[in-house]
Amino acid sequence: MAKMNLILVILDSLRKDCISAYGPTIGREWFGTDVQTPNLAQFAETAMIFTRAFPESLPTLPFRRAIHTGRRAFPFRDYRPTKWDLVYLPGWQPIAEDVDTLAESLARAGYQTGYITDCLPTFQPSTNFHRGFHHWHFIRGQQQDRWQSLSCGEHVDLSRYFVSAKHEAGLKRAIAQYAANTAMRRSEEDWFAPQVFRLASRWLEENVHQTPFFLLIDSFDPHEPWDPPDYYAELYNAGYTGKNPIHPMYTAQPWCTESELTQMRANYCGEVTMVDRWLSRFLEKLDDLGLRRTTGVVIISDHGHSLGDRGVSGKVPACQHKELVELLLMMRHPEGYGAGQESDRFVYNIDVVATLATWAGVELATEGQDLTPLVEGGQGWEDRPYVTGAFDNWVTYQDQSYKLIRRIDDPDCATKLKLYDLRRDPQEQYNVASDEPALVEELYQRILCDAGGDVPRYEIPTTFADGSTWHRSFMPDS
């Protein structure tokens, strides 16, 4: 029997509640209309939807270390800052040399492997996420990629992107670099998501007979900066003429006005809709080439993003709430197993790796569970009673009844924890930690059990070899 082709699509910072397949979207609260993602909704009709999928750690690079290897990045025991990086957080580091990746295992098994991405952190100096791929394409220019000279963007009026002097002081250089990188754009095809999915379509055309194949598409969009073509944002906030914040401050509100926050949300939702459109073009190419019945497709987000929720903007470790840590995860089996069905079991991103390895018939030492029994409706799945995760020096626990968010690097940790009774408070609004000290300790011990002992605490320096600085104060404690 011919081996199954495999496609894994990662979408960065995509909130699950932007996707109508999961129910009414956050757009109804923000704009009175759903976020427009018709193509992801259509894909969901052909796939199994997982409604309780979580990252074992986040943000960008820890998540990707786990999903490239199938092994947990948490508890970040071997963290060492790398030179000339852009982010310094526990777990933000290359893949260990003695750990096999999914791509390496598939390549050894005869798979043609391809990797197409515009995800800047995976191609920073000292990183090695392209291991195991016969072909890899890195699309330059996202975020503050040191690509084009700043002079290329001198004609761009950056002042329209900043709502205050503080906002400008924190982000001016990053936005100036981004403006220089994108100054050459002329049509929608020049934006990053279109580039990623157009290149992925071309890779399919070039490798349609090189089967079996594994294609990893890692789209950095809808990560900030959020600057889709104007007509996308206008779907949600037509007629707006004020300041146009395309990048949030990672801090508590109010750092911008309500109208500016609405526009930033419109920019974000517009970018989501653009990603949906171009992902659809790629999936249409897959069908046009006659590959649907021989190819397993998985679409997953790495995390969400706070956009004024609970008075906070950004990806903030202390605010690992639903909007940040609940993932979109859809798996389409070529035989149609589980199509249109939902699973509410607790699953991790690393389970995707175990499943793809099973579908390919290769061995890979993962810490994930094969999801095939859930997809095919068979036996062999052992329910998890809870999930745990980590972001910076904060850890989380969640089961059917409770959620715990706790900081580990502060001696006064009693003021740095949150407990929610999900039975009465599914939206995680009311912190009851002070009422349940024994339960807090019990749940924390389960986190330590998953970590294999005490969780390491890191003090990140503020100045690095490349002259860059890192200020931890941008992350509020609550």
| Number of domains, the chain | 1
Over residues 21-45, the mean pLDDT reads 97
Least confident among 234-243, 275-284, 445-454:
445-454
The model's confidence at residue 440, banded by pLDDT at 50, 70 and 90, is very high
Over residues 338-353, the mean pLDDT reads 97
Which two structure tokens, joined as six digits, stand for 372? 């095939």
Output the average pLDDT for the chain: 93
For position 477, what pLDDT does the model report? 33
Give the list of residues 6+ apart from residue 277 with CB closer than 8 angstroms, or none: 39
**Amino acid identity of 262?**
T
Over residues 61-83, the mean pLDDT reads 93
Q: Is the dihedral of CA 42, 43, 45, 46 positive or negative?
A: positive
- In angstroms, the Cα distances linking 378 to 3, 334, 372, 381 are 21, 17, 8, 8
pLDDT at 475 over 50: no
Q: Does a structural domain hold residue 390?
A: no
Percent with pLDDT over 70 in the chain:
95
Over residues 355-369, the mean pLDDT reads 96
**Amino acid identity of 24?**
P
Q: Does a structural domain hold residue 129?
A: yes
What's the Rg (C-alpha) of the chain?
A: 21
Q: Does a structural domain hold residue 473?
A: no
Tens of pLDDT, residue by residue over 180-199, are 999 999 999 999 999 999 99
Q: Which domain holds residue 59?
A: 5-385
Over residues 49-58, the mean pLDDT reads 98
The three-point CA angle 189-192-194 to 5° equals: 40
Q: Does a structural domain hold residue 395?
A: no
For position 87, what pLDDT does the model report? 87
Tens of pLDDT, residue by residue over 132-183, are 999 999 999 999 999 999 999 999 999 999 999 999 999 999 999 999 999 9
Nearest-10 crossing angle of helices 192-207, 258-288: 10
Please report, for the chain, how many H helices and E strands are present, in that order. 12, 16
For position 460, what pLDDT does the model report? 67
Tens of pLDDT, residue by residue over 252-278, are 889 999 999 999 999 999 999 999 999
In angstroms, the CA 216 to CA 114 distance is 6
Which two structure tokens, joined as six digits, stand for 235? 């779907």
The model's confidence at residue 84, banded by pLDDT at 50, 70 and 90, is confident
Q: Does a structural domain hold residue 398?
A: no
Q: Does a structural domain hold residue 332?
A: yes
Q: Does a structural domain hold residue 377?
A: yes
For position 88, what pLDDT does the model report? 86
Over residues 279-288, the mean pLDDT reads 98
pLDDT at 470 over 70: no
pLDDT at 472 over 50: no
Q: Which of 89, 134, 82, 85 is nearest to 112 (CA)?
A: 134
Nearest-10 crossing angle of helices 60-69, 349-360: 30
Compare 333 and 2 and report the one with higher pLDDT: 333
Compare 455 and 262 and report the one with higher pLDDT: 262
Kindly report the number of other CB atoms within 10 A of residue 464's CB atom. Answer: 16
In angstroms, the CA 400 to CA 420 distance is 11
For position 473, what pLDDT does the model report? 33
For position 411, what pLDDT does the model report? 65
For position 462, what pLDDT does the model report? 56
Q: Does a structural domain hold residue 414?
A: no
Tens of pLDDT, residue by residue over 324-341, are 999 999 999 999 999 999
The model's confidence at residue 1, banded by pLDDT at 50, 70 and 90, is low
- In angstroms, the Cα distances linking 269 to 222, 226, 252, 274, 275 are 8, 9, 21, 9, 10
Q: Is the dihedral of CA 135, 139, 144, 148 positive or negative?
A: positive
CATH number for position 231: 3.40.720.10
Classify residue 7 by its DSSP letter.
Answer: E
The model's confidence at residue 467, banded by pLDDT at 50, 70 and 90, is low
Least confident among 153-167, 285-299, 312-326, 458-472:
458-472
In angstroms, the CA 103 to CA 117 distance is 15
